[in-house]
Amino acid sequence: MVDLSQTELLTIPETAALLRLKVSTIRAWVLQRRVPFVKLGGRVFLRRTDLQALIDASVVPAKTDLKLQRGCLQQG
């Protein structure tokens, strides 16, 4: 069972604003089922916790090899 006191549901426009993306992008992600969503009374909501998980899974780690960094700096 979901604890509703800990679940914040966001509309598609709220989600788009939070992620700084277009509303159409969020709608496409929902249609493609790229993000989990909740459908209540014909309306679509996204859980803030699912969005945080999406952000966490999308983090690209920084390179830590100094030789590689120096090589990139010399070429640029």
SS3 assignment, position 58: coil
Q: Which of 6-10, 25-29, 37-41 has the lowest mean pLDDT?
A: 6-10
DSSP state of 51: H
Domain boundaries, the chain: 7-75
Which pLDDT score is estimated for 24?
98
Q: What is the pLDDT of residue 29?
A: 98
What CATH number should be reported for the domain whose range is 7-75? 1.10.1660
What average pLDDT score do residues 48-61 get? 95
Give the neighbor-by-neighbor strand order of the sheet with 38-40: 9-10, 43-47, 38-40
Q: Which of 54, 48, 43, 55 is nearest to 10 (CA)?
A: 48
Residue 14 banded pLDDT, cuts 50, 70, 90: very high
Tell me the per-residue pLDDT of 29-48, one tens digit each, with 9 for 90 and over.
999 999 999 999 999 999 99
For 45, other C-beta atoms within 10 Å of its C-beta total 17
Helices (H), the chain: 12-19, 23-31, 48-57, 66-75
